[in-house]
Amino acid sequence: MNLAVAEHGFLSPTGAEIAFVLIGLVVLGSALLVVTTRQVVHAALWLVVTLGGLAAEYLLLTAEFIAWVQVLIYVGAVVVLLLFGLMLTKAPIGYSEPPDSAARIPAAVVALGATATLLTVIVDAFRTAYLHLGDDTVGSTEVTGQSLFKVWVLPFEVLSVLLLAALIGAIVLSRSRSRAHSGRKD
Amino acid sequence: MSMSTAATATLAVTKVDAPTIEYGKLSPILIIAGVAVVGVLIEAFLPRPARYRAQLTVALVGMIAAFGAVVWLARDLPDDHRGSVTAMGAVAVDGPSLFLQGTLLLIGIASVLLIGERRLEPAGGDAFAPQAAAAPGSQQEKDAAAAGWTQTEVYPLTMFSLVGMLLFPAANDLLMMFVALEILSLPLYLLCGLARRHRLLSQEAALKYFLLGAFSSAFFLFGVAMLYGYSGSVSLDKIGVASAGAMDNDALLLIGLAMVAVGLLFKVGAVPFHSWTPDVYQGAPTPITGFMAAATKVAAFGAMMRFFYVALPGMRWDWRPVMIGVAIVTMVAGAIIAITQTDVKRLLAYSSIAHAGFILTGMIAMSDAGVSSTMFYLVAYGFVTLGAFAVVTLVRDARGEATHLSHWAGLGRRSPLVAGVFALFLLAFAGIPLTSGFSGKFAVFQAAARGGAGSLVVVGVLCSAVAAFFYVRVIVLMFFSEPKVDGPTVVVPSVMTTAAIALGVAVTVVLGILPQPVLDLADKAALFVH
Amino acid sequence: MNPVNYLYLSALLFTIGAAGVLLRRNAIVVFMCVELMLNACNLAFVTFGRMHDNLDGQIIAFFTMVVAACEVVVGLSIIIAIFRSRRSASVDDASLMKW
């Protein structure tokens, strides 16, 4: 392959390719296990592997900021929350929950169809594209922050509204009023 | 800044140039966001007995103020009615966004009136669970109900959802659109699960809505990724420019278009992405169902029109046949499945699916008339739907709302007024002349016929006829059959529900008899900013 | 390196996630599959950002992550509320409705 990986890559060109393939296989394998494993807790743990692998892929793409945010938000927060969810719903460890056989065939058909379509599209679209790494797109935290607060400032601020809404919603569904106030009427 | 070699070094010390944001142009959205935040503060700091009144007042005053801001912005639009883009290209302030934002705010006002209704439950309280965290049927729940607790958090949640709805049709790039989609959806998922009666059903509705909603927004996002890959930008304008001429990489564009469309069609409940609609409409608290049915459709169709008209006008020959197919299937399936329904809320849900098909008909016209007729239809449909669900909250028996159709038999003899109002709404759904439904259907069919989608118009008219059959069947049931002995009673609501229903009736009749002023307004507002 | 490889990975991941959503019955696992799909979108965004030489892709990926975090919060609170009512997190047990 014709390679133009520049100084900003974390590895040499061939190294980056080898790393991509290896990590990619890990990501795919663990994603398949998330979907197929019968043990719910294992699914969550395989999800950690998938997400961590993706963080490594981001590093290979020189998206430094995104890679660390991936580790912090996904591996650090989302998976932990999911594990808490499993714990609170008392998902039995080691219990095998059979995937629904009725939906298996349509699901497989849909999945194969979607894969085929997407792969064809990508093959068709990017047969000749190569990654040329320029200086200006390296996703360091600094550059990302500049762009975030210049161009994307409104969506960013609106995200805070979303976070607040999610927070309030979760509180409404989960928080019991304490017994001590039960005498008071609204 | 002077030398390019030192660019990286200077970045560290350079202050970020402040982005330009015209706050005035965003004022309707900002006001509602402020109302939501004030609502949260009320929950945090006011004593419980004072919260209900405070929340209701703040929400209503805020929405009226925001509506005033919309009117003010609309008057400021230049004479050619071209709008402008603000917030670094994230939000478009143009005719369609202002028209739809105004509609959404009016629907929001009526919905909050319904949500605030506290006269209907015999034991007092509103349509929401006294304590959402208590398990259904538990002692804790009974205690909470006996103590007369209520959860006033529903008001800020509704306002958060409204923020997303106001942003959704105005979003001028796909990222803003995605964030707005999530803001409108997440509070709605939660609100669906808060019904006071039939709580299990309600929670399952929330779960179903949430899982399918998250699934569909993942499709939306992958579509955005494909379009970004195609054009190098998520701005609708730039995608429009890129898609106008290019021939290579078409596959990427098409798949992106299709996946974004899946996300949007899910939100409007078009077949084949409709399966959540009946269950969620049935399970959710009825005031929320009304809000969701009316406002989500307005917002999502606004976003869909902007997406297709601004980003992909050059692709119309590719997407139009597919969308025509979707519209036909939606109209046919909605009308036919509705015939078999025995529950009023499910019936209204299938009717809303059929209406999504009619609205798509207007959108497909790809002309200014298409935009204006679609917007007119959305106004007409929104208020009829809200009014119909408001009537549903009034017909009750010991177990809450009596939604089974058999309970509605003979309602016209017991309370002719309520049955008459419901009959008016059904006639408007059916598109009988002198109601808003007729004006709306006429406008969209006319636009579609002129836009060269004659076959669609034929199917639309046939489906209207089928749909009219089941609407009339309900009217016959209400007026010409014997009332059941243990049938439901019609509860007399407070002034709030009455006002909401009166607004629905007024809009239905006025738009039926004198549609021209609103049609003119929609015509003027039909230009998207590019 | 040919960036298409990253897109292959993304497409495969997306379809694995989508298949999982249709296949699995445990609400939390269904939800994990949705997360896989969102991650596939992120990978596509970052890759396309590299190909187009602009940062937007990475910014969007960041936004997606925050949105996903919000979805997790809301989703888990709904799932746990249902579990408390019904003592099960299986989607199939949602017997009152057709799934």
Q: Write the pLDDT tens digit of every residue in A20-76.
A: 888 999 999 999 999 988 888 889 999 999 999 999 999 888 888 889 889 998 888
Closest CA–CA distance from residue A182 to any residue of chain C (Å): 21
DSSP strand pairing (B91-93 vs B400-401): unpaired
Nearest-10 crossing angle of helices A79-88, A40-60? 180
The answer on pLDDT for B59 being more than 80 is yes
Locate the chain C residue with the closest alpha carbon to B222: C41
CA dist C96 and B204 (Å) reads: 8
CA distances from A130 to A3, A67, B403 (A): 8, 22, 61
Among A148, A151, A154, which would you mutate to test the B interface (most chain B Cβ atoms within 10 Å of its Cβ)?
A154
CA dist B107 and B294 (Å) reads: 7
Inter-chain CB proximity C38 and B218 less than 8 Å: yes
Scan for tokens 């008899």, then name that residue.
B513
Residue type present at position B284: A
Of C19, C42, C69, the CB nearest to A78: C69
* CB distance B239 to B231 below 8 Å: yes
- Which residues sit opposite B93 in a β-bridge? B84
pLDDT tens sequence across B388-433: 999 999 999 888 888 888 888 888 888 999 999 999 999 999 999 9
Closest CA–CA distance from residue C32 to any residue of chain A (Å): 7
* CB distance B204 to C82 below 8 Å: yes
Over its C-alpha atoms, chain A yields an Rg (Å, rounded) of: 22
Q: How many CB atoms lie within 10 A of CB A116?
A: 12
pTM strictly above 0.95: no
On whether any CB of chain C is under 8 Å from the CB of A35, the answer is: yes
pLDDT for res A8: 46
CA dist A134 and A9 (Å) reads: 10
* Section B453-469 average pLDDT: 90
CA dist A54 and C43 (Å) reads: 8
Query: Where do the domains of chain C lie, and which CATH numbers do they carry?
Result: 3-87 (1.10.287.3510)
Size of interface B-C (CB pairs under 8 A): 120
The answer on pLDDT for C93 being more than 70 is no
On whether any CB of chain A is under 8 Å from the CB of B16, the answer is: yes
ipTM of model = 0.92
CA dist B218 and B254 (Å) reads: 17
Token couple for B353: 């699916």
Of A120, A154, A166, the CB nearest to B87: A154
On whether any CB of chain B is under 8 Å from the CB of C87, the answer is: no
Locate the chain C residue with the closest alpha carbon to A35: C20
CA dist B385 and B377 (Å) reads: 12
On whether any CB of chain A is under 8 Å from the CB of C59, the answer is: yes
Token couple for B81: 């009615």
Token couple for C7: 């897109």
pLDDT for res B6: 44
| Chain B partners within 8 Å of A118 (Cβ) | 255
Inter-chain CB proximity B215 and C21 less than 8 Å: yes
Of B33, B147, B193, the CB nearest to A173: B193
B255 alpha carbon, distance to own chain's centre = 26
| Chain B partners within 8 Å of C44 (Cβ) | 222, 225-226, 229
Q: What are phi and psi of B401, to 5 degrees?
A: -70, 135
pLDDT for res B3: 42
CA dist B100 and B273 (Å) reads: 24
The answer on pLDDT for B123 being more than 50 is yes
Inter-chain CB proximity C85 and B200 less than 8 Å: yes
Of B11, B48, B175, the CB nearest to A155: B175
Q: Which helix (H) or strand (E) holds A109?
A: helix A104-125
The answer on pLDDT for B10 being more than 50 is no
Lowest mean pLDDT among A66-70, A156-160, B244-248, B338-342: B244-248
Dihedral angle of Cα B42, B47, B52, B58, to the nearest 10 degrees: -30
Nearest-10 crossing angle of helices B174-192, A153-174? 10
pLDDT for res A48: 93
pLDDT-based confidence at B187, cuts 50/70/90? very high
Task: Give the residue, B242 or B349, on which the prediction is more confident.
Answer: B349
Task: Give the residue, B155 or A60, on which the prediction is more confident.
Answer: B155
pLDDT for res B15: 66
| Chain C partners within 8 Å of B234 (Cβ) | 56, 60
If phi > 0 it is left, if psi is from -120 to 50 it is alpha, else beta; for residue B235 that is: beta
* Section B132-146 average pLDDT: 83
Inter-chain CB proximity B176 and A155 less than 8 Å: yes
* CB distance B436 to B384 below 8 Å: yes
Over its C-alpha atoms, chain C yields an Rg (Å, rounded) of: 17
Q: How many CB atoms lie within 10 A of CB B245?
A: 7
Spatial neighbors of A183 by CB under 8 A, at least 6 apart, are B147
CA dist B418 and B400 (Å) reads: 17
CA dist B227 and B229 (Å) reads: 5
Token couple for B430: 């059916």
3-state secondary structure of A63: coil
* CB distance C62 to A71 below 8 Å: no
pLDDT tens sequence across B289-336: 999 999 999 999 999 999 999 988 877 788 888 999 999 999 999 999
On whether any CB of chain B is under 8 Å from the CB of C89, the answer is: no
What are the residue ranges spanned by the domains of chain A?
11-94
Inter-chain CB proximity C41 and B193 less than 8 Å: no
CA dist B288 and B283 (Å) reads: 10
Token couple for A125: 């679209």
* CB distance B379 to B511 below 8 Å: yes
Locate the chain A residue with the closest alpha carbon to B125: A186
- pLDDT over 90, % of chain A: 21
pLDDT for res A160: 92
pLDDT-based confidence at B510, cuts 50/70/90? very high
Mean pLDDT computed over every residue of chain A: 76
| Chain A partners within 8 Å of B176 (Cβ) | 154-155, 158
Q: Mean pLDDT: which of A79-88, B82-91, C57-66 is highest?
A: C57-66
Closest CA–CA distance from residue C56 to any residue of chain B (Å): 7
Q: Pinpoint the alpha helices (H) of B269-343.
A: 276-283, 286-291, 297-306, 316-339
pLDDT for res B137: 79
Inter-chain CB proximity A176 and B140 less than 8 Å: yes
Inter-chain CB proximity A66 and C3 less than 8 Å: no
Q: Residue A106, preceding bond cis, omega within 30 degrees?
A: no
* CB distance A155 to B181 below 8 Å: no
CA dist B195 and B309 (Å) reads: 38
pLDDT tens sequence across B202-215: 998 999 999 999 99
Closest CA–CA distance from residue A94 to any residue of chain B (Å): 25
Size of interface A-B (CB pairs under 8 A): 126
The angle subtended at Cα B246 by Cα B243 and Cα B251, nearest 5°, is 75
| Chain C partners within 8 Å of B200 (Cβ) | 85-86, 96
* CB distance B475 to B437 below 8 Å: no
Pick from B63, B71, B74, B67: which is nearest to B32 by CA?
A: B63
Pick from A100, A137, B75, B228: which is nearest to C90 by CA?
A: A100
The answer on pLDDT for B443 being more than 50 is yes
pLDDT for res A182: 44
Inter-chain CB proximity B201 and C96 less than 8 Å: yes
Nearest-10 crossing angle of helices B174-192, B154-167? 150
* CB distance A21 to C2 below 8 Å: no
Token couple for B442: 């006429």
pLDDT-based confidence at A94, cuts 50/70/90? very low
Lowest mean pLDDT among B11-25, B431-445, C1-15: B11-25
On whether any CB of chain B is under 8 Å from the CB of C32, the answer is: no
pLDDT-based confidence at B246, cuts 50/70/90? low
Among C8, C26, C58, which would you mutate to test the A interface (most chain A Cβ atoms within 10 Å of its Cβ)?
C58
CA dist B518 and C31 (Å) reads: 44
Write down which chains contact chain B via at least 3 CB pairs under 8 A: A, C
Mean pLDDT computed over every residue of chain B: 89
Locate the chain C residue with the closest alpha carbon to B283: C97
pLDDT for res A179: 54
Exposed, middle or buried, A136 (CB in 10 Å: 0-12/13-18/19+)? exposed
CA dist A162 and C73 (Å) reads: 11
Task: Give the residue, B387 or B246, on which the prediction is more confident.
Answer: B387
| Chain A partners within 8 Å of C42 (Cβ) | 54, 66, 70
The answer on pLDDT for A124 being more than 60 is yes
Pick from B66, B93, B26, B520: which is nearest to B306 by CA?
A: B93
pLDDT tens sequence across C45-59: 999 988 888 888 889
Report the topology of domain A11-94.
Answer: Four Helix Bundle (Hemerythrin (Met), subunit A) (1.20.120)
